[in-house]
């Protein structure tokens, strides 16, 4: 048993029985490395990460590997969902070293946290050789490692985007012009660039692996409202339909997996994340009046959030694992024999309805992921089949659920449920959003107004909230309205005080947070909009709710400061482009 047994993070707890002498990230762990004069081995992952589990089973549960680590390193295990600040810093270093990133992330650093080598997943034999090589370099080539670490830190710092100076046109201590110049030409160019990567057959963007990319879809929706360009909305609807009919959507229970390993949304990476389902609920709620399929998927996704993601205290859990008993997709895939055992004479009809070709299974080991190529004519029979299959599936071993409550993701879920309720008058969804908001307010918001990143079982972690937490929670509170507006304003004041770069933009971490190798400030979207974009969206929402022009000015500064990056990489700054579209509408 190592130090992780007492950790709040379920991911860290998964490694508590490893023979590796894991420590949590702390000043004491860094001090131990300095006292022993050994490097840090920093392993970063998350609880539903398939390859994290693989490396754990292959290496971290192996005594030979553990002995090689314990004798020559201080091993630190980090949950990227609990400490996204550490993840961002070391992902930047990993990208600088290898040109690519991913999880598990494997970083070797000096005791002060300066990285000198990094990678991702390593098979056991390669990992053992790597441990030997790093130890040899540490003992015989320390000066070279020092130079290498300095170069990585410098490269990480210089890899940050170039921002614009907006304070001349809109000083921080005064109002902005009556109509700040958001250039619609920039927005038109961004929409064109985004559509250039659109998959006109399967929907979405690019090829495999295929992610939902909701920030880009949200931007296209907003661009359509301004321009009336039907092609933009058509692509959003195509993407929503293809996802809803593909294996990325759970055809039996509802809810979306994180991404598809192919371009056609057929075979998912089976983990289900709260942030994806929150964002996709928003998308299908926005399309609610565009067709029965979209309305059904919105209803089922809302129900899935309420039934399967709700925690005992009333918030929403982080994720469901991709694996069951160490096998990815074990809970979800079906062989023809399994269909026949459950459905009997209905099996052949169900196979056709769910897009299964018995001669050509679409998944591993002769199994199939269920799709819905078209709505069955016999809807009653289809619903009966779904019910029988889901009942049988629930008797199978189930994937684990990461029960930790992430502030930002709950904020997104609250906002999405409020939006869905406003369009459908679904009272239970609004009540669930309010319950989750109460948990965040009671558990995550401290007496001084500062926000904890995560909690578990009603107990908040010491990990501080980052920009996306304050922004997403404020956005969720604003969507609830009423007394929640004042609480949201308090969070926005925390952003103004602790996250500003004093030039119109934001850092991802607070000014008084733990000093790391670099202080990240990223405008690029991931599966959700960037913290910068969420902050700008929350500020603009606050203006729309309260009429306070200073919120709109701050939102405009945030967009204008990032405009050089937005112009250079519109596909991955869609969150800010969506805010820019809303600002244009607010100016008229």
The pLDDT tens digits for 398-416 are 999 999 999 999 999 999 9
Q: Is it the case that residue 155 has pLDDT exceeding 90?
A: no
Q: What phi and psi, each to the nearest 5 degrees, are found at residue 256?
A: -115, 140
In 3D, which of 429, 565, 437, 448 has the Cα closest to residue 505? 565
Pick from 134-148, 163-177, 466-480: least confident: 163-177
Residue 106, strand partner residues: 43, 119
**In this prediction, what percent of the chain has a pLDDT beyond 90?**
88
Whether 530 contacts 524, CB under 8 Å: yes
DSSP-derived letter for residue 5 is G
- Summarised one tens digit per residue, pLDDT across range 2-58 is 889 989 999 999 999 999 999 999 999 999 999 999 999 999 999 988 899 999 999
Pick from 159-168, 181-190, 312-321, 530-539: least confident: 159-168
User: What value, to the nearest 5°, has the Cα angle with vertex 294 and ends 379 and 227?
Assistant: 150
In 3D, which of 136, 179, 135, 125 has the Cα closest to residue 41? 135
Whether 259 contacts 209, CB under 8 Å: yes
pLDDT of residue 157: 72
Give the pLDDT band (50/70/90) at residue 178.
confident
Give the pLDDT band (50/70/90) at residue 1.
low
Alpha helices in 291-369 (DSSP H): 292-304, 336-343, 347-353
Whether 189 contacts 567, CB under 8 Å: yes
pLDDT of residue 198: 97
The CA–CA distances, whole Å, from 61 to 67, 128, 281 equal 11, 13, 39
pLDDT of residue 354: 97
The CA–CA distances, whole Å, from 220 to 213, 321, 406, 575 equal 11, 31, 28, 11
- Summarised one tens digit per residue, pLDDT across range 59-111 is 999 999 999 999 999 999 999 999 999 999 999 899 888 888 899 999 999 99
**Which H or E element spans position 455?**
strand 454-456
Give the integer Cα–Cα distance in Å for 330 and 71.
Answer: 38
Q: Cβ contacts of residue 105 below 8 Å, gap of 6+?
A: 42, 43, 44, 45, 80, 87, 90, 91, 94, 118, 119, 120
From the number of C-beta atoms within 10 Å of its C-beta (0-12, 13-18, 19+), residue 233 rates as middle
In 3D, which of 440, 398, 402 has the Cα closest to residue 318? 402
The CA–CA distances, whole Å, from 370 to 244, 355, 366, 373, 455 equal 11, 7, 13, 10, 35
Q: Is it the case that residue 179 has pLDDT exceeding 90?
A: no
Give the integer Cα–Cα distance in Å for 206 and 125.
Answer: 35
User: How many CB atoms neighbour CB 382 within 10 A?
Assistant: 18
The radius of gyration of the chain's CA atoms, rounded to the nearest angstrom, is 24
Whether 520 contacts 507, CB under 8 Å: yes
**In this prediction, what percent of the chain has a pLDDT beyond 70?**
98
Structure tokens at 73: 């390193």
In 3D, which of 525, 440, 532 has the Cα closest to residue 480? 440
pLDDT of residue 507: 96
- Summarised one tens digit per residue, pLDDT across range 413-461 is 999 999 999 999 999 999 999 999 999 999 999 999 999 999 999 999 9
Q: Is it the case that residue 165 has pLDDT exceeding 90?
A: no
Mean pLDDT to the nearest integer, 231-254: 98
Mean pLDDT to the nearest integer, 244-254: 98
- Summarised one tens digit per residue, pLDDT across range 348-392 is 999 999 999 999 999 999 999 999 999 999 999 999 999 999 999
In 3D, which of 61, 47, 156 has the Cα closest to residue 104? 47
Give the pLDDT band (50/70/90) at residue 160.
low
- Summarised one tens digit per residue, pLDDT across range 317-348 is 999 998 899 888 899 999 999 999 999 999 99
- How long a stretch of residues is the chain? 588
Q: Cβ contacts of residue 509 below 8 Å, gap of 6+?
A: 85, 464, 466, 467, 499, 516, 519, 520
């Amino acid at each position: 048993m190592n130090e992780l047994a007492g950790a709040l993070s379920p991911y860290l707890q998964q490694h508590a029985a490893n023979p590796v002498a894991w420590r949590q990230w702390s000043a004491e762990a860094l001090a131990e490395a300095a006292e022993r004069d050994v490097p840090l081995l920093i392993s970063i992952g998350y609880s539903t990460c398939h390859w994290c589990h693989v490396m754990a089973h292959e290496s971290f549960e192996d005594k030979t590997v553990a002995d090689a680590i314990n004798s020559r390193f201080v091993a630190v295990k980090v949950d990227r969902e609990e400490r996204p600040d550490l993840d961002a810093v070391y992902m930047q270093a990993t990208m600088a070293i290898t040109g690519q990133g991913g999880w598990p992330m494997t970083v070797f650093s000096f005791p002060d946290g300066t990285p000198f080598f990094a990678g991702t997943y390593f098979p056991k034999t390669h990992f053992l050789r790597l441990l030997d090589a790093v130890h040899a370099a540490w003992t015989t080539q320390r000066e070279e490692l020092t130079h290498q670490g300095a170069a990585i830190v410098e490269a990480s710092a210089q890899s940050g985007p170039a921002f614009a100076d907006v304070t001349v046109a809109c000083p921080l201590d005064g109002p902005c012009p009556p109509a700040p110049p958001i250039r619609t030409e920039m927005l038109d160019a961004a929409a064109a660039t985004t559509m250039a990567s659109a998959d006109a057959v399967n929907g979405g963007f690019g090829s495999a692996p295929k992610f939902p990319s909701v920030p880009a879809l949200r931007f296209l929706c907003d661009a359509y409202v301004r321009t009336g360009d039907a092609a933009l909305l058509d692509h959003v609807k195509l993407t929503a339909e293809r996802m809803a009919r593909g294996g990325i959507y759970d055809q039996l229970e509802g809810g979306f997996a994180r991404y598809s390993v192919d371009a056609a949304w057929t075979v998912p990476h089976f983990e289900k994340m709260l942030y994806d389902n929150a964002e996709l609920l928003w998308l299908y709620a926005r399309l609610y009046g565009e067709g029965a399929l979209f309305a059904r998927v919105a209803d089922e996704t809302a129900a899935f959030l309420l039934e399967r993601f709700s925690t005992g205290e009333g918030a929403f859990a982080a994720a469901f694992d991709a694996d069951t008993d160490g096998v990815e997709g074990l809970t979800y895939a079906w062989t023809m024999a399994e269909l026949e055992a459950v459905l009997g004479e209905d099996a052949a009809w169900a196979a056709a309805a769910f897009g299964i070709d018995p001669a050509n299974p679409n998944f591993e080991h002769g199994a199939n992921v269920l799709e819905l190529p078209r709505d069955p004519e016999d809807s009653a029979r289809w619903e009966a089949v779904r019910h029988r299959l889901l009942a049988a599936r629930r008797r199978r071993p189930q994937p684990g659920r990461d029960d930790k409550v992430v502030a930002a993701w709950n904020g997104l879920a609250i906002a999405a449920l409020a939006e869905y309720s406003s369009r459908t008058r679904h009272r239970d969804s609004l009540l669930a959003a309010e319950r989750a908001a109460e948990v965040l307010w009671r558990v995550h918001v401290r007496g001084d107004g500062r926000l904890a990143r995560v909690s578990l079982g009603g107990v908040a972690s010491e990990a501080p909230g980052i920009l996306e937490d304050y922004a997403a929670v404020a956005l969720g509170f604003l969507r609830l309205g009423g007394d929640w507006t004042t609480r949201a304003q308090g969070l926005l004041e925390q952003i103004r005080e602790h996250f500003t770069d004093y030039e119109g933009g934001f850092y991802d971490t607070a000014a008084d947070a733990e000093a790391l190798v670099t202080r990240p400030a990223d405008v690029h979207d991931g599966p959700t909009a960037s913290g910068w974009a969420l902050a700008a969206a929350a500020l603009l929402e606050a203006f729309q709710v309260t009429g306070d022009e200073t919120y709109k000015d701050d939102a405009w500064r945030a967009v204008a400061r990032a405009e050089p990056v937005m112009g250079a990489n519109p596909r991955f700054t869609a969150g800010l482009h969506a805010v820019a579209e809303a600002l244009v509408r607010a100016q008229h």
